[in-house]
Amino acid sequence: MTVKHHLTDDLLMAYSAGDLPEAVNLIVATHISLCDECRAALGSYDAVGGAVLDTCASVEMAQNSLKSVLDMIHAQDSQVQDKPVSAMVQDDVLPAPLVDYVGGGLENVRWRSAGMGVKQAILPTSKHATARLLYIPAGTAIPDHGHHGLELTLVLKGAFQDEGGYFGRGDIEVASEDLNHTPVADISEDCICLAVTDAPLKFKGLVPRIAQPFLGI
């Protein structure tokens, strides 16, 4: 697998600093698990951040800081598994970060129809951005649309093509408000993607606009 489309430096730096919404964190972590180049770049940003922290002046902590942290850890103990799901499940399509969110492999995804044979599964993340798995049958086009914000699309299986190029497994498309596109799944294989948006899409067609509130896109 050769990854040709990568994350931007801005996204990698924000991920390193912990400044991204949960859904965006998820897609960045998933891409990094598939992309050696972005994983190496992230390591560089982490090193720079660590060096900056070393130069910061120390701050006196409140007397109850340790107790507060321990109380938070103990409160979550009952909700934490001994091992993450990804330590017990190996999946050929879903990388480890996604396995933990799905709760298993691809067979555990709860797909819902989005029309034209396309299926989606919205993943549980915070409200600031939305993450969903998309299943697009071979040769099927997603309706032409623009963006009110950021849309990130990571290919997990198969491939798609649009105005931005050809995207195969591990490739990520970073679409902003200045891009209008019509992604089409490669004719040779069904396509499965992880897609993240931080604002509704701008569909041009009437039918997609009518269906949009029901699909949450």
User: What are the domain boundaries of the chain?
Assistant: 1-80+111-217
Interior/surface letters 80-104, b for 16+ CB within 10 angstroms, e for the rest: eeeeebbeebebeebbbbbbbbbee
- What strand order describes the sheet that includes 130-136? 112-115, 118-122, 130-136, 191-197, 151-157, 172-175
168-201 residue pLDDT tens: 999 999 988 777 878 999 999 999 999 999 887 6
pTM: 0.80
Mean pLDDT score of the chain? 84
User: pLDDT at position 54, please?
Assistant: 56
- Given the structure tokens 């049958």, which residue do they identify? 137
Give the residue-averaged pLDDT of 94-116.
92
Q: How far, in whole angstroms, is CA 184 from its chain's centroid?
A: 20
User: pLDDT at position 213, please?
Assistant: 58
User: pLDDT at position 71, please?
Assistant: 78
Q: Would you say residue 27 has pLDDT above 60?
A: yes
User: pLDDT at position 206, please?
Assistant: 47
Give the residue-averaged pLDDT of 5-9.
96
- From the CA atom positions of the chain, what is the Rg in Å? 19
Instruction: Enumerate helices (H) and strands (E) in the chain, giving the number of each.
Output: 6, 11
Which tops the pLDDT comparison, 1 or 49?
Answer: 1
58-94 residue pLDDT tens: 667 777 877 777 776 766 554 444 556 666 778 899 9
User: pLDDT at position 32, please?
Assistant: 96
Whether CATH 1.20.140.10 fits 1-80+111-217: no
